[in-house]
Amino acid sequence: MLLVTMKLSASPPVGREHTCLLTRTAIKLARMGKSAAGKQTSKKPAIVRTIAAVDEDSARGRLLGAATRLFCKNGINATGIDAIISEAGTAKTTLYKLFGSKTALVTAVLESEGKQWREWFIGAIEAGGGDAETKLARIFPALKSWFGEERFYGCPFINAVGEHDKDQKQFRTIAMRHKKVVLAHIEKLAREMGAQDPESFAHQLALLIDGAIVAAMVSRNPEVADTAGLAASTLFEPVRLKAGKRSSRPDAQLAAV
């Protein structure tokens, strides 16, 4: 959900001597993820959760719900006011009375979507407890579940910023505010895990998250989350080496990956 900033530090090149260790880390992340994914089947992704949470009994709720569905499906610029009020079953005067303009309605939708997504995302990685590494390992299995939803249309913040003039700061400001909350939580877990540079760790992991979201939106293939998770294993390995952790799984299991 638009988590990337420009503050990224390059990871050192991975040598052949690290290959086995990286594979072990990948196995751990994958197995943690499968366990976590099994516990998260009742969680709904952002778009579905947002629509489900809207109070459709109120005019404001119907307008937010209609705008969310149409913006996600058709895009913001391609969705006119008439389509929104037709979907919501309200008068045009009601929309302008409640929101004032289409831009204000888009802002309200993004704020609602962001809140719902953050609640889902943080809840998905925190559910079931465990140490910080275990929680971070749940990220990509959770994303894979979201990517597999029929109504997955990508990140509304990336979509909104991409549709509008790059000088238009209003939507970018909302997106950055959302990003900071998510990054702060990842950074907190990275610090608890013992990452040497938690801020850099969080930004690099965020890059993989955003990349996976865009790739899933384009390809409609949920398995891009697995690829991103495998790439993320390289971020965990220095922490595991520092802590002196080693996998006890036999080489036969490593070879199966």
Does the structure show a pLDDT above 70 at 15? no
pLDDT at 151: 85
Mean pLDDT lowest among 34-48, 84-98, 102-116: 34-48
Angle between helices 169-193 and 156-163 (to 10 degrees): 140
User: Is residue 2 in some structural domain?
Assistant: no
CATH number for the domain spanning 224: value is: 1.10.357.10
Q: Which of 13-27, 34-48, 168-182 has the lowest mean pLDDT?
A: 13-27
Residue 227 covered by a domain: yes
Residue 166 pLDDT grade (very low, low, confident, very high; cuts 50, 70, 90):
low
Provide the pLDDT for residue 224. Answer: 97
Q: Based on the structure, what is the number of domains in the chain?
A: 1
- Dihedral pair phi/psi, residue 80, rounded to 5°: -90, 170
Q: Residue 118 sits in which domain range?
A: 19-41+109-255
Looking at the domain assignment, is residue 78 inside a domain? no
Q: What percent of the chain has pLDDT over 90?
A: 58
Q: What is the pLDDT of residue 1?
A: 62
Q: How far is CA 241 from CA 21, 26, 184, 232, 234, in A?
A: 9, 14, 24, 15, 11
Q: Does any domain span residue 226? A: yes
- Flag whether 95 is in a domain: no
Give the pLDDT score at 8.
Answer: 38
pLDDT tens per residue across span 168-223: 688 889 999 999 999 999 999 999 999 999 999 999 999 999 999 999 999 999 99
Give pLDDT tens digits for 49-71.
444 445 556 899 999 999 999 99
Residue 62 in any domain: the answer is no
pLDDT of 47 reads 45
pLDDT of residue 2: 56
* 172 found inside a domain: yes
- Using a pLDDT cut of 70, give the percent of the chain over it: 71
4 pLDDT above the threshold of 90: no
pLDDT at residue 3, as a whole number: 57
Q: d(Cα 10, Cα 154) in Å, to the nearest integer?
A: 27
Q: What is the pLDDT of residue 248?
A: 41
> Residue 98: is its pLDDT beyond 90?
yes
In a domain, 166, yes or no: yes
Across the chain, mean pLDDT equals 79
Selected residue with higher pLDDT from 250 and 150: 150
Alpha-carbon span 68 to 173, nearest angstrom:
19
Q: For 178-239, what is the HEC assignment?
A: HHHHHHHHHHHHHHHHCCCCHHHHHHHHHHHHHHHHHHHHHHCCCCHHHHHHHHHHHHHHHH
